[in-house]
Amino acid sequence: MDFLNMTVERSNVQLTKTDFESDQMVKWCPGCGAHAILAAVERVFPKIGYRKENFCMISGIGCSSRFPYYVNTYGIHGIHGRAAAISTGVKIANPRLSVWMATGDGDSLAIGGNHFIHVIRRNVDINILLFNNQIYGLTKGQYSPTTPMGKVTKTSPQGTIEHPFTVGELVMGAQGTFFARVPDNNINLMTEAMFEAARHDGTSIIEIMQNCIIFADKAHSDITGKEVKDETMLVLKNGEPMLFGKNHEKGIILRETHLEVAEIGKNGITVDDILIHDQYNQDPGIHLMLAKLAPPVFPMVFGVIRSAMYPTYDDLVGEQIKFARENSKIRNMDDLLNSGDTWEI
């Protein structure tokens, strides 16, 4: 895969799933969506092509954040909300590492919200797996920044009175260069998004609609459930029209400044009227509109919504150091100590 980041060393042997299996017991609840995410990661990492020692998995606190213990890479299980800051330090200090971050909606959107928006704004080249289960799981069921308004939880006995974040909207608001949304019940979609995130230079956010079987079971099933998903999920493919429905009979069109659902064959709509997905478009306008779509009027959009090329923070750090090294008279500490006004006594 010669599109991969050239600064990360590649493996000269073909790796397999077992190269990344940890010897630790996986302690997520049976039936938790996180198991599927782990399976997807174990499928993706050996195939990316990097040396296994060059993977680094960072996390914060929460169910999602136990992830580093369950994959055999270098890794840090950090503190609540700070995974993005720790990852930033890892990547700046050593750009030759492929840095992955496991986090949740509480970890990254509440206590770690500041770090989350700033890592995105800087476009540090890390890959963030955001397990969005719309609940605090590890502390046993309090509402999170993505819990739908009105939802009854342990800390909202009369229903929440907060407006939830839409992850994609937040990412684009922070000038995100990569955003994908995937369900935890479709390993192929998950792995495709992970490969694309690995391929993207910059901060990649993959929002995984993950099910918490204990405290927010079926939170996403109105969208990702087998019975409804044909009508409620639109899976994007770059360069292809945005179609959904059982027989791909519906699509998204742009009318004036808004997106609309149109049915092919009705009102003179043909497949040529349907928007073609361009994930590489630098303008985030359509990407933002797509990220915000949701039932009942629209389907929710899945797959890679945005993947735009911008310089990464870590590359720019490297360039400035290179420039300074080539142009500064101060080459070592003795030079610095003796620079400027000095005199002999």
The only residue of 21, 53, 217, 283 in contact with another protein, by rule CB under 8 A: 53
Cβ closest to another protein, residue 256 vs residue 344? 344
For residue 310, give both structure tokens.
Answer: 């911008």
Residue span 116-155 as binding mask against another protein, x where in contact by CB under 8 A, dash where not: --x-------------------------------------
Q: Give the length of the chain.
A: 345
* Helix H or strand E segment including 244: strand 243-244
Q: In the stretch 307-326, what mask flags binding to another protein with x, by CB under 8 A?
A: ----------x--xx-xxx-
Could you tell me which of 136, 153, 151, 9 has the C-alpha nearest to residue 64?
A: 136
Least distance from another protein to the Cβ atom of residue 48, Å = 15
Smallest separation, CB 287 to another protein (Å): 24
Residue 252 contacts residue 259 (beta carbons within 8 Å): yes
Q: Which residues between 79 and 108 bind another protein (CB under 8 A)? A: 79, 82, 84-94, 96-97
How far apart are alpha carbons 143 and 162 in whole angstroms? Answer: 10
In terms of phi and psi (left: phi > 0; alpha: psi -120 to 50; beta: otherwise), the region of 272 is alpha
Our finding on whether 6 is near another protein (CB under 8 A) is no
Q: Are 218 and 148 in contact (CB under 8 A)?
A: no
Stretch that binds another protein, among 72-80, 219-227, 242-250, 264-272 (CB under 8 A): 72-80
Cis amide leading into 295 (omega within 30): no
Angle, CA of 58, 62 and 66, to the nearest 5° = 50
Using the rule CB under 8 A, give the single segment among 64-72, 136-144, 155-163, 257-265 that binds another protein: 64-72
**Residue 276 binding another protein, by CB under 8 A:** no
Look at residues 147, 79, 75 and name the one whose alpha carbon lies nearest to residue 112.
Answer: 79
18 is an interface residue for another protein by CB under 8 A:
no
Tell me how far CA of residue 336 lies from CA of 209, 326, 341, in angstroms: 53, 16, 11
To another protein, the closest distance from the beta carbon of 125 in angstroms equals: 14
Q: Which residue from 5, 32, 33, 54 is in contact with another protein, where contact means CB under 8 A?
A: 54
> 304 by DSSP, 3-state: which?
strand
Among 34, 56, 194, 236, binds another protein (CB under 8 A): 56
Separation of CA 66 from chain center:
17
User: What's the N-to-C CA distance of the chain in angstroms?
Assistant: 63
Q: How far is the CB of 19 from another protein (least distance, A)?
A: 10
Instruction: Pick the closer one to another protein by CB: 61 or 223.
Output: 61
Binding site for another protein (CB under 8 A): 9, 24, 51-54, 56-59, 61, 68-69, 72-79, 82, 84-94, 96-97, 114-115, 118, 317, 320-321, 323-325, 327-328, 330-334, 336-338, 340-345
